[in-house]
Amino acid sequence: MADLTKLTPGQRTLLQGNEAIARGALEAGVSLAAAYPGNPSSEILESLADSAASAGIYVEWSANEKVALEAAAGASFTGLRAMASMKQNGVNVCQDFICNLTISGTKGGIVLVTADDPGSISSTNEQDARFIAKLAELPLLEPSTPAECLAMMRFAFELSEQIGNLVVLRSISRLSHTRAGVTPGPLPASRPRPYWDPKVAWHTLPTVPRHRVMLEKLAQAGRIMSAAGFNAYRGPERPELLVIASASSALYAGEARDRLGVASRVGLLKLGCTWPLDEALLLKHLASTEQILFAEEVDPFIEDGVKALYAQHAPELGVKRFFGAATGHTPPVGELSPDVLASALGQILGREPATVDPAYLERVAERVAALVPPREFGFCPGCPHRASFWAMKQVLAVDGRDGLVSGDIGCYSLAMLPTGFKRANAVHCMGSGPGVAGGLGQLRGQGFTQPVITTVGDSTFFHAALPAIINARWNRSDFVLVVLDNSATAMTGFQPHPGTGQTATGREGTQLDPETVLKALGVPCQVVDPYDMQATQQALYDAVQASGGVRALILRRVCALVQNKRGGHPYTMSVDQDKCRGQDCGCHRFCSRVFRCPGLFFDEAAGKAMIDPVVCVGCGVCTQICPAGAIQAEPRKEAAA
Amino acid sequence: MKALDQEPLDLIVTGVGGQGNVLASQVLGRALLAAGYQVTVGETYGLSQRGGPVMSMVRVTQEKVMGPVIPAHSAAALVSLEPLEALRVLGTYGHPGVVVLTNDRPLLPLNVIAGADRYPELAELKQALSENCAKLYWLPATETALTLGNPILANVIMLGALGATGLLPIGAGEMEAALGAMFPESKMGVNRRALAKGAELAAAA
């Protein structure tokens, strides 16, 4: 990311949606920003961290999302502007705080940015985090372009201060990761000095009267939002069909309308302020048409709200037809696109979207089906997780008691797939691995004999695993805790975490290592290098055979991609073509069929295993899996230690 | 600002995670924006560094703001850093008039490595592409990148090739300037050579 304070006001620049959100916050005078990394939100805080020194503000990666929002609230109580950004899952993590913060209210402008992931491009779910606005009576903004990300962030801080409450801005993957021309405005010349008058208290009592105040704040927000210019109508005065759309779907809807050539028949109401809904605006447009189509991702949030509004006013408005998720005109799952909306418009208006020669489509589809295999996700070449899950696979097979692995969130979630030998039996949310294992480990008295391993990454360990480990220790559950310590929050882009000791802005922090924490909790703990397959398998086997209580193994080896950036891996790999027994090897191409490293393949023509020098990074692990000893590792001359 | 032959000019850059697909689309975006166009670059990543297919969409107009997703079967050009991915994306975004530029160096999917699926013969793949596009540039980008010292340069070579097709309203100079804004001068020598090599490859294709 780059220092966003260096942009020239008034000069159009290519900015990612996430960078535009960060720039908007800087222009609004944000003084504290905190976040926990997670795609598609990570670049927001990364940009702010890279701008922190120039802007003179405080920016941190927090241990989790709840802590991040709480830190932002602290700053708000002193009168400063503050924000927390996260992916949709993070909103769940801080939901408890949100639902109480909204009662106490806030002082300095405070914004919660959630970057949702329709289509689950890089998530375990595609939950629609907009519902937090409804749940906690908070105003909700949904930008549709990077330029609007910037403008809405500026507005969000103002709005928050005007109503004295948190404001939610919801981005989505397609917007967070879209780059487009954005014209930055000026940065503030100064920021207020933080002060909290000790006579002032921020709390939730008395709750019920304060709930009434929350609703008044929301109504006030609605009035301010309706005048902000983020809701806009384009189309004829009395459209045959009205499309109500938000976020990227508003652009898709416009494009679908143009492509079908129905601009004179279809009106497009783009909503940027989606909670509370602008009732007067919606009633005016509902009165202008008989048919309404909703375009939003993922859940029918606006759709249900508008229908509820319509129900209140049906006697004046008369009969309307609504199309959307409820009628199957838009899918209730996954992303929308110009094509999905062209098809919905076409269906309603009785028009076929123009398409290319059907013979061409048929021919290409046939070639793709015949020639193009899927491309599975997998651990990177050299990934220590491949070696770690290899050990779990082997040890549980040798143990023979149908052992289970309770997985967690990170790159190692991919262990559900063949790349991790399908050795993750459960994967849900941050910290759920040891939580689920804790329950399993209490079933011994009821005849449950299967060994239980749980895996957590180093960042996940600090984020949410600790309460589950403490619970297991307290209640004397019985399982093996494997900390997959690759010294990075790798899945989301190698951000630092408590275990690395580095901080978001490069300032030195205090390094907390998992073994010290575990020892303090009384959990016996051993550190092993997963690249050393024999040592890892022995240590894991011993841990699985032991019983009674939680015992931990820290498999520590830096992420292979981080190692690539630090000067690379130590070896140049090759397969000794004389030693490789090829098809005649009793192992039936064990090295490529089972181990599945992208850098090691079986050359059908030669009938031998081969290293792909463009892909292989030279970690040397695969030398340990060939029964014939054919895989060779030569020290690389310029290798880093 | 040169008028566009078609509006929007829709370009796709695809490949496998880790090949520098996002960087390539960002260079295009910056170069076109600097030349005065409206650009929207939609990037798909996340799990993308973990060996899966990745795709960026670059949409260019004179004024109009476009969404980040190109409609099916309407890309003007398809640049692929891996030949199998070229055909995969052609299936969704191709049409008889599309121009395809692809690196000819396969990266084997894990399921192929495991023996569960087959990677097509390169001749078959090349034929399927050339029969279903207006022009195919089948280019040894990785091989050329290796002669420059690093296979990762295949992405810049492919950009150089795209610049030489005449499909863009900008030339190599604008792309070089965009690269220059993203890399230190110490890395620009090899990037300039990669752009030039790409242009040579396209001219010879």
Strand-pairing partners, residue A140, are A168, A275
Cis peptide, bond prior to residue A298, ω within 30 of zero: yes
Nearest by Cα to A89 from A44, A139, A40: A40
Extract the tokens encoding A310.
């319509």
* B49, B88, B113 ranked by CB distance to A601: nearest: B113
Ordered alpha helix ranges (H), A195-274 = 207-226, 247-260
Q: d(Cα B33, Cα B105) in Å, to the nearest integer?
A: 31
pLDDT per residue as tens digits for the range A332-363: 999 999 999 999 999 999 998 888 999 999 99
DSSP string across A145-188: SHHHHHHHHHHHHHHHHHHTS-EEEEEEHHHHTEEEEE---PPP
pLDDT per residue as tens digits for the range A565-578: 999 999 999 999 99
Contact B115 A592 (CB under 8 A): yes
Classified by CATH at the fold level, domain A384-565 comes out as Rossmann fold (3.40.50)
| One-letter amino acid for residue A305 of the chain | G
pLDDT at A641 over 50: no
Q: d(Cα B58, Cα B41) in Å, to the nearest integer?
A: 4
* A123, A177, A375 ranked by CB distance to B16: nearest: A375
The CATH 3.40.50.970 portion of chain A extends over 4-188+202-226, 384-565
pLDDT at A424 over 90: yes
Q: Å from A128 to nearest chain B CA?
A: 18
Nearest by Cα to A232 from A155, A159, A144: A144
Q: For chain B, list the domains and their CATH numbers.
A: 9-204 (3.40.920.10)
Asked if A474 and A521 touch (Cβ cutoff 8 Å), the reply is: no
**Residue A445 neighbours by CB distance under 10 Å:** 6
Q: How many CA atoms lie within 13 A of B22 on its CB side?
A: 15
Q: Mean pLDDT lowest for which of A455-459, A568-572, A590-594?
A: A590-594
Extract the tokens encoding A594.
């089972």
Dihedral sign from CA coordinates of B99, B105, B111, B112: positive
Strand-pairing partners, residue A454, are A406, A481
Extract the tokens encoding A615.
């892909």
Q: Mean pLDDT lowest for which of A352-356, A442-446, A457-461, A464-468?
A: A352-356
Contact A371 B73 (CB under 8 A): no
- Cα dihedral B146, B149, B150, B156, rounded to 10, equals -80
- For residue A356, the chain B residue with the least C-alpha distance is B95
Contact B43 A177 (CB under 8 A): yes
Confidence band for A588, pLDDT divided at 50, 70 and 90: confident
Q: Which residues in chain B come in under a pLDDT of 50?
A: none
Q: d(Cα B10, Cα A429) in Å, to the nearest integer?
A: 38
Q: Which CATH architecture has domain A4-188+202-226?
A: 3-Layer(aba) Sandwich (3.40)
0.95 surpassed by pTM:
yes
For chain B, how far is it from start to end, CA to CA, in angstroms? 28
Q: Which residues in B lie closer than 8 A to residue A123 (C-beta atoms)?
A: 46
Q: Which residues in B lie closer than 8 A to residue A361 (C-beta atoms)?
A: 73
Asked if A582 and A529 touch (Cβ cutoff 8 Å), the reply is: no
Residue A21: alpha-carbon gap to chain centroid: 16
Give pLDDT, residue A491: 79
pLDDT per residue as tens digits for the range A37-50: 999 999 999 999 99
Q: d(Cα A382, Cα A633) in Å, to the nearest integer?
A: 13
- For residue B114, the chain A residue with the least C-alpha distance is A593
Q: Which residues in B lie closer than 8 A to residue A43 (C-beta atoms)?
A: none
Give pLDDT, residue B49: 60
* A117, A248, A596 ranked by CB distance to B68: nearest: A248
Alpha carbon separation from A625 to A6, A621, A632, B104 (Å, rounded)? 52, 8, 11, 31
Q: What is the DSSP letter of A453?
A: E
Looking at every residue in chain A, the average pLDDT score rounds to 96
Strand order of the β-sheet with B9-16 is: A13-16, A178-182, B38-44, B53-61, B9-16, B77-80, B99-103, B135-139
Contact A14 B29 (CB under 8 A): yes
With a pLDDT cut of 70, the percent of chain A lying above it is 99
Contact B42 A178 (CB under 8 A): yes
Q: What is the DSSP letter of A411?
A: G
Asked if A93 and A64 touch (Cβ cutoff 8 Å), the reply is: yes
pLDDT at A113 over 90: yes
For residue A476, which phi and psi values (nearest 5 degrees)?
55, 50
Contact A255 B66 (CB under 8 A): yes
What is the ipTM score, two decimals? 0.96
Q: Provide mean pLDDT across the span A52-80.
A: 98
Contact A360 B96 (CB under 8 A): yes
The CATH 3.40.50.920 portion of chain A extends over 233-349
3-state secondary structure A250-270: HHHHHHHHHHHCCCCCEEEEE
Asked if A28 and A154 touch (Cβ cutoff 8 Å), the reply is: yes
Q: Å from B164 to nearest chain A CA?
A: 24
Right CATH for A571-635 from 3.40.50.720, 2.60.450.10, 3.30.70.940, 3.30.70.20: 3.30.70.20
Nearest by Cα to B40 from A161, A61, A148, A157: A148
- Cβ neighbours of residue A528 closer than 8 Å, sequence gap 6 or more: A535, A536, A539, A553, A554, A555, A556
Angle separating helix axes A95-104 and A65-77, nearest 10 degrees: 20
Contact B71 A365 (CB under 8 A): no
Q: d(Cα B185, Cα B201) in Å, to the nearest integer?
A: 25
pLDDT per residue as tens digits for the range A506-560: 999 999 999 999 999 999 999 999 999 999 999 999 999 998 899 999 999 999 9
Q: What does the angle CA A382 – CA A385 – CA A386 come to, to the nearest 5 degrees?
A: 65
Q: What is the DSSP letter of A404?
A: E
Q: Which residues in B lie closer than 8 A to residue A597 (C-beta atoms)?
A: 113
- For residue A594, the chain B residue with the least C-alpha distance is B114
Asked if A301 and A128 touch (Cβ cutoff 8 Å), the reply is: yes
**Residue A516 neighbours by CB distance under 10 Å:** 11
pLDDT per residue as tens digits for the range A152-172: 999 999 999 999 999 999 999
The CATH 3.30.70.20 portion of chain A extends over 571-635
* B40, B108, B120 ranked by CB distance to A180: nearest: B40
Confidence band for A639, pLDDT divided at 50, 70 and 90: very low
In angstroms, what is the C-alpha Rg of chain A? 28
Contact A375 B111 (CB under 8 A): yes
- For residue A145, the chain B residue with the least C-alpha distance is B67
Give pLDDT, residue A160: 98
Confidence band for A458, pLDDT divided at 50, 70 and 90: very high
The domain A233-349 having CATH identifier 2.60.40.1510: the answer here is no
**Residue A39 neighbours by CB distance under 10 Å:** 22
pLDDT per residue as tens digits for the range B82-107: 999 999 999 999 999 999 999 999 99
Give pLDDT, residue A640: 43
Interface test with B, best of A123, A171, A178, A417 (most B CBs within 10 A): A178
Strand-pairing partners, residue A631, are A575
Q: Which residues in B lie closer than 8 A to residue A147 (C-beta atoms)?
A: 65
3-state secondary structure A277-302: CCHHHHHHHHHCCCEEEEECCCCCHH
